[in-house]
Structure 1
Amino acid sequence: MGGLTYMSDHTMVITIPFSMFSDETEDVKVLETFNCVFKDAYKVFLKGQPKALGTAQIFIGLLSISFGLLLYQYDIGSLLSTLPSMLFIVSGTLSYSAGSAPNMLVMKTSFVMNILSFFWSIAALVLTIINVPCTRQSDSNCETIRNMIRGIQIMNAALLVLEVVIDVVLLHWESKAVFRPHFNVLPVIYLKQDVAERSTAHPSSSSK
């Protein structure tokens, strides 16, 4: 995974004072390490498997368009519910890219495209259900063609339902990382050094 998933700005500044005591009897004690633990929003997003789901979106888009081309010679209206499935291919490509490297612009674009894919999946599913195949009454094989078209439409409807589920899953995980200017903004931490000198009192000796 290339690229940084965090940045620092001065939105939050933490100052940690510590003291260094120096004298002849004590060693100088310096804070050597400091651990900053944070929950990486990008790694949380990766738990949703965006690369695998993006690949599935691409295949769904390709299959849906293929079904539309198969039905074109029998039902021109089928293109209305299948050709716009190119949106799934674009969404899948962006989802895969968002899971490959941390890039907030790609992530936000993927989020918007998945929203559009979600609503189009529902619209295409409705169009597929209400579409009546084989309106050519003069065709003697209309019933056979109707059954064939209906079978393809059922398979396409199943793909659309799967696309809806994938969009919901991706939107859920992307929402955990997208509503911010960067994936992780860490505070600026200053270590304030306070040097204190200790003077050792030596008793004065008097001569007799």
Structure 2
Amino acid sequence: MKLLKSFINKQYVWEIVRIITVGLASLLFYFKAIPLPLLLIAMLLGLYSLVKTAFEDLVKESKIGTEIFITIAVIISIVGKEYLAGAVVLMIILIAEYIASASGEKARASIKELIGSVPKTATVKRGGKDETVAIDKLKVGDIVLVKAGEKIPVDGVVVDGTASVNQAPITGESVPQEKAKESEVYAGTILELGAL
């Protein structure tokens, strides 16, 4: 259900409408249920954001993206009177772009969630005492203490202790990894057993 929600986000409703419009118009044109002008209008609707993006990339960033080539291909299919082929290619491209956008959005959301899950403070050993310090106040060489059940607040290398660390949030590994002196540890991972 969560995956379905990420693919049907409010910002993607327009994309879905374009895909359905081009696909339905292609199907109806194939069965001669609509005239050519309606298919061309549907294709223009489908091309709108591609042309807009292509133009913005070209003018603002002096960049030639795939949108330009897609637009040219569809225009060539229209000029060559291969209307249906152009419409089907356009529909396939719109579907591919929709999936890429939705996947990218899901990845960005996962990264935001991961960043939000990293502790804001760390327990540091300074001058023989343990003190709580904001993450942004840590210095290279600080010794950070982490106990069982806590999230590791920063990336680092173990200088003392042994522990079993759940790295699934970062690496996707399902089995906790054993960490000892000189092992690398990652911010956001969970120390399950032991202390570092």
- The normalised TM-score by structure 2 is 0.29
Structure with higher Rg: it is 1
**Structure possessing the higher relative contact order (Cα contacts under 8 Å, 6 or more residues apart):** 1
